[in-house]
Structure 1
């Protein structure tokens, strides 16, 4: 392979990686959580409060804590300023930045072509999570942490600038816990391996860095209580949200992430590479995160991408190119150009129409708008975020912020949703006057056929029902 051909392939590969990120950033999406994050963001801007009694969840038993307050407030402010196109722009900013971070991490030990290929596959592996939610901040911050530690394992120097990164992360999303996990794993791998083991002074510095990153999370506006909130959410979410369950290996995103994790050791075998302890630890953590939970697949992909680039570099046929100032400028310029194009699309007609959820529910929307404030509505779980955003004066039986509700309430809702024995208990307890449910759901049919609920309006996939004289 000639030098010019290799260079052209590297440029083409990086363009493909950017194109993949651009597609995720500007494409249409169906994200149920976007709506309630906007509602919470608007509430934060109006009240400047991050915790307290929730104004919309009448059946909550826990006060609400806005653990994702920074991206929620920023997004709500931008939406007020420019419209829903701001959501597309922020999504594009995160997706394109993720491509660049993956490429930069891979380029530390691989050439342009291998790094570009790994970045493209890596961002594809992240694809299922690249929806407009505060978790986008987590993916970018996680990639920054992996980049920092991939440099540290090579030169032994602590990256103290990670401390403000973790403070920002703590204000944005709960996956900062996995940033601490990967930091601890890298540190342990360095110490265990005699080849990479730092001296006592440097080991103490690196351990101090990890401790400082953990401590700074407790110094956000929410204080030390923030340290426990990710576990509160996880305890309730697994029963209702599919993303908190084990990863289904039947989609291109999981296959891309797992494919990198499998291809890397195969390439090591072919090239007879003897991996360092930190490489084995990084690969093991990548595979573990990818398999254990659907929502963690992007983290697994971010860990796997630079390993893949390094592993396939000897198979490219050329030595790794140097990291020049010209290449740095080209990477930055291409990122800026792609973001500028995404900005134009977001500001145009594509931005306001990118959100496809909940679809064409005009008749249901209009009927809900006519209901008096305080009306209790038995709501579809997925639709509840939109209900909070569009009709905040109504009182849903449950919503997507599961950490607010008791396990008993969530279990009762699941029985009702599935029309299982005892399904009417929730109706007796909450006394909803209306229900907004998927038209084809078992619960919608049971309410009409068994209890005589009447159809008020139907729009898209949803139907608004009215109780005959009371809930059951």
Structure 2
């Protein structure tokens, strides 16, 4: 009970550090509403952004529709409740996976450390649901690592995962790691390993997404998104060496290595899982959380004190989970407002329908959601802009050479930016532009 309490306290404190909803939330709500209204994507012109020159494929369609429904019923508070439940599920899955090898207390400790390392992915967005499904997939594959038998429910998990988030290929990667771990395991090794069925299962998890509405495009689109985002989106870039969550994953991996050295035991599966976790954590900010998922079972394997879990072990976790949902700031009292102050938001609302508007990336999703009459030039979907289009827009945003001609070429009549940003400074001295509204860190400029 105490260990689960510590887990809940840490999770609650980390959630309370978030003073605003996730910047991507509003874009997902807008897309979800469009999908519910029968508006599909995948063609041009793009219904949301004026500059998009590549079709948007809604790889997160089920999560976006679900988020829109929850928002209609219970608002952002309802989305906070869903997030809290997903965090409870994530902690439970981490503990259940660790429990395959470790004792009850050790499993909770491992789960708590790994859960904290995933905290950058706790926003109100499909990514969190994808992370929970990743933990579920890893839990099932971990069972295979114990007894060598296939878990056919992985096919259902893979299909659901492909409908809610583009990270689903990681589940195929988990399967490859487990098969390698089984091949490398010295002792104890499950016997007999059902290699034929496991290979069929692995292939099935890679192909089952084609049964969704995206068809074969579901197999390639996650990679296209990744390649487009890696060069422009910070969370797709490698984390700074001092990133605390990266350091936590590295520390857990180091503990795995130290424990194996002290025990004078060569456990290749543990080293494989921990190594893969470190590689993922170091490759990008958004995959630190996935790296933590992999390091957790590696650490649990070094604690080998497990036995069959008893039903009574679930009670403390359930009690603490119930309390966690009632903590102020977790569900009730969480941040709900959009980024724009009242006067600036009102000025944006008064813009004529279809006005070509440049919007700071942080507010673009909110404008698309709360002010759908505005024609935003560019939003947060990096994959719908070709490199040339993205580069030209970045030059304009930095008021680089030819930025005023760019505004004329695209008929830009309004610019929503932050005070002190290059566009704010540039427009203050540009002919034909005036401040329409300003409050706090935001300002709206109008032409004419």
The TM-score bracket by the shorter chain reads over 0.9
Whether the 8 Å contact between 2:359 and 2:417 is mirrored in structure 1 is yes
CA 1:326 to 1:117, structure 2 compared with 1: closer, same or farther past 3 Å? Answer: same
Q: How does 1:3-42 map to 2 (within 5 A)?
A: 11-24=1-14, 28-30=18-20, 31-42=22-33
> Is the deviation greater in 320-329 or in 88-97?
320-329
Distance in 1 (alpha carbons) for counterparts of 2:142 and 2:65: 32
Residues 149-188 of structure 1, C-alpha deviations (whole Å, 9 max, x = no match): 1111110010100100011001000000111112112112
> Offset at 1:197?
7.1
What is residue 289 of structure 2 aligned with on the other side? 298
Whether the 8 Å contact between 2:16 and 2:329 is mirrored in structure 1 is no
> Offset at 1:338?
3.9
What is residue 373 of structure 2 aligned with on the other side? 393
1:230 aligns with 2:216: no
Indicate which of 272, 275, 280 corresponds to 2:271.
280
Residues 256-299 of structure 1, C-alpha deviations (whole Å, 9 max, x = no match): 22221222212222232321x32221111100000010110000
Distance in 2 (alpha carbons) for counterparts of 1:441 and 1:459: 15
Indicate which of 39, 44, 61 corresponds to 1:69.
61
Whether the 8 Å contact between 2:100 and 2:306 is mirrored in structure 1 is no
What is residue 323 of structure 1 aligned with on the other side? 309
> Offset at 1:112?
2.4
Distance in 2 (alpha carbons) for counterparts of 1:340 and 1:125: 20
Indicate which of 144, 158, 162 corresponds to 2:150.
158
> Offset at 1:367?
0.6
Distance in 2 (alpha carbons) for counterparts of 1:225 and 1:77: 26
Distance in 2 (alpha carbons) for counterparts of 1:435 and 1:428: 13
1:382 aligns with 2:374: no
What is residue 161 of structure 2 aligned with on the other side? 169
Q: How does 1:186-265 map to 2 (within 5 A)?
A: 186-193=178-185, 195=187, 202-265=194-257
Indicate which of 326, 339, 356 corresponds to 1:341.
326
Instruction: Give structure 1 stretches of 5+ with no counterpart.
Output: 1-10
Distance in 2 (alpha carbons) for counterparts of 1:42 and 1:320: 47
Whether the 8 Å contact between 1:238 and 1:244 is mirrored in structure 2 is yes
1:46 aligns with 2:37: yes
Distance in 2 (alpha carbons) for counterparts of 1:416 and 1:113: 56
What is residue 399 of structure 2 aligned with on the other side? 419
Distance in 2 (alpha carbons) for counterparts of 1:261 and 1:193: 19
> Offset at 1:97?
0.9
Distance in 1 (alpha carbons) for counterparts of 2:385 and 2:32: 20
Distance in 2 (alpha carbons) for counterparts of 1:78 and 1:182: 31
Distance in 1 (alpha carbons) for counterparts of 2:228 and 2:313: 47
> Offset at 1:24?
4.7
Q: How does 1:344-359 map to 2 (within 5 A)?
A: 346=331, 348=332, 350-351=333-334, 354-355=335-336, 357-358=338-339
Distance in 1 (alpha carbons) for counterparts of 2:261 and 2:163: 42
CA 1:385 to 1:187, structure 2 compared with 1: closer, same or farther past 3 Å? Answer: same
Distance in 2 (alpha carbons) for counterparts of 1:80 and 1:38: 10
Whether the 8 Å contact between 2:16 and 2:330 is mirrored in structure 1 is yes
Whether the 8 Å contact between 1:22 and 1:338 is mirrored in structure 2 is no
TM-score (structure 1 length as normaliser): 0.88
CA RMSD, 1 decimal = 2.4
Whether the 8 Å contact between 1:52 and 1:64 is mirrored in structure 2 is yes
CA 1:421 to 1:384, structure 2 compared with 1: closer, same or farther past 3 Å? Answer: same
TM-score (structure 2 length as normaliser): 0.92
Distance in 2 (alpha carbons) for counterparts of 1:338 and 1:285: 35
Whether the 8 Å contact between 2:147 and 2:191 is mirrored in structure 1 is no
Q: How does 1:73-88 map to 2 (within 5 A)?
A: 73-88=65-80
> Is the deviation greater in 259-268 or in 369-378?
259-268
Residues 405-464 of structure 1, C-alpha deviations (whole Å, 9 max, x = no match): 222110111112223334445324312011001112122112223556321111232110
Q: How does 1:118-197 map to 2 (within 5 A)?
A: 118-193=110-185, 195=187
Distance in 2 (alpha carbons) for counterparts of 1:380 and 1:26: 25
CA 1:453 to 1:160, structure 2 compared with 1: closer, same or farther past 3 Å? Answer: same
Whether the 8 Å contact between 2:147 and 2:193 is mirrored in structure 1 is no
Distance in 1 (alpha carbons) for counterparts of 2:73 and 2:174: 37
Alignment length, in residue pairs? 446
Distance in 2 (alpha carbons) for counterparts of 1:50 and 1:73: 13
Indicate which of 32, 49, 52 corresponds to 1:60.
52
User: Secondary structure in 1 aligned to 2:424?
Assistant: helix
Instruction: Give structure 2 stretches of 5+ with no counterpart.
Output: none
Distance in 2 (alpha carbons) for counterparts of 1:323 and 1:407: 52
Whether the 8 Å contact between 1:363 and 1:458 is mirrored in structure 2 is yes
Runs of 4+ in 1 over 6 A off after TM superposition: 196-201, 342-345
